């Protein structure tokens, strides 16, 4: 099975290094020197990692055969794909591969069905489950432990405890009290007497 482990960013310096956006929780395993990775588009690879280092909080890689800035820049936005045994599990029991989470049923703690995970979006601050509801609509659920309280792979379900308004907009809590004091027609009181 293939997993996307990184996306190549811009070239760094003049000797063929590139920045990468890491998309794996195990970069030391998947993006180590000597690793051979497939690519999307396939015409860019396969690529063999020659060196890797962290610079200013970003991972920099150099690939065999990529020796200058022009060649490195040509790889920009290429996805790096690792071949992984489907039975392999992450070392941390609280981590999951995307393929393990796809198609899980999403339910509330009381068993109420919300929908099914159809996509996982990886953002810099957190991952999002895209959940298709029974009526065909979609809802985005942040994959954080305060909301996703349990992943049960045996039962093929994700149990969530959503904050008000995440699943049902009619239950949303108004965070501002600006319009509660008046009907909105009056100018706000500056607290100064004229």
The per-residue pLDDT for range 155-170, each reduced to its tens digit, is: 899 999 988 888 876 5
What pTM value is reported for the model?
Answer: 0.54
**How much is the pLDDT for 98?**
78
**What is the 3-class SS of the chain, one letter each residue?**
CEEEEEEEEEEECCCCEEEEEECCCCHHHHCCCCCEEEEECHHHCCEEEEEEEEECCEEEEEECCCCCHHHHHCCCCCEEEEECCCCCCCCCCCCCCHHHHCCCEEEECCCCEEEEEEEEEECCCCEEEEEECCCCCEEEEECCCCCEEEEECCCCEEEECCCCCCCCHHHCCCCCCCCCCCCCCCCCCCCCCC
**How much is the pLDDT for 3?**
77
Output the CA torsion sign for 99, 109, 113, 128: negative
Least confident interval from 102-106, 110-114, 166-170: 166-170
| Residue 32 token pair | 């180590």
The stretch 8-31 carries a mean pLDDT of 87
Query: Distance of CA 71 to CAs 12, 18, 58, 66, 168, Å?
Result: 11, 10, 20, 6, 49
pLDDT greater than 70 at residue 88 = no
Tell me the pLDDT tens digit for each residue of 135-154. 988 999 999 889 999 998 88
Least confident interval from 77-86, 114-123, 177-186: 177-186
More confident residue, 141 or 89: 141
The stretch 76-81 carries a mean pLDDT of 92
Query: Distance of CA 85 to CAs 2, 3, 82, 124, 164, Å?
Result: 8, 10, 10, 26, 39
Contacts of 28 (CB under 8 A, 6+ apart): none
Whether the CB-CB separation of 63 and 105 falls below 8 Å is answered with no
**How much is the pLDDT for 49?**
93
Whether the CB-CB separation of 133 and 116 falls below 8 Å is answered with no
pLDDT greater than 80 at residue 42 = yes
Query: 116: pLDDT confidence band, cut at 50, 70 and 90?
Result: very high
| Residue 114 token pair | 């919300």
**How much is the pLDDT for 11?**
93
**How much is the pLDDT for 57?**
83
Query: 16: pLDDT confidence band, cut at 50, 70 and 90?
Result: very high
Whether the CB-CB separation of 109 and 149 falls below 8 Å is answered with yes
**How much is the pLDDT for 194?**
47
Query: 177: pLDDT confidence band, cut at 50, 70 and 90?
Result: low
């Amino acid at each position: 099975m293939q997993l996307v482990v990184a996306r190549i960013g811009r070239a760094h310096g003049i000797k063929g290094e590139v920045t990468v956006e890491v998309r794996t929780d195990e970069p030391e395993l998947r993006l180590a020197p000597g690793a051979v990775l497939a690519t999307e588009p396939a015409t860019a690879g396969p690529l063999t990692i020659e060196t890797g280092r962290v610079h200013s909080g970003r991972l920099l890689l150099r690939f065999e055969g990529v020796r200058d800035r022009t060649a490195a820049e040509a790889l920009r936005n290429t996805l790096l794909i690792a071949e992984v045994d489907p039975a392999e599990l992450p070392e941390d029991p609280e981590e999951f591969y995307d393929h393990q989470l796809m198609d899980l049923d999403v339910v509330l703690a009381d068993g109420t069905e919300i929908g099914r995970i159809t996509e996982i979006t990886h953002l810099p601050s957190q991952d999002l489950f895209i959940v298709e509801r029974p009526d065909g609509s979609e809802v985005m659920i942040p994959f954080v432990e305060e909301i996703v309280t349990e992943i049960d792979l045996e039962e093929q379900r994700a149990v969530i405890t959503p904050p008000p308004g995440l699943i049902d907009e009619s239950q949303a809590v108004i965070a501002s009290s600006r319009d509660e004091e008046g009907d909105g027609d009056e100018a706000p009181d500056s607290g100064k007497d004229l």
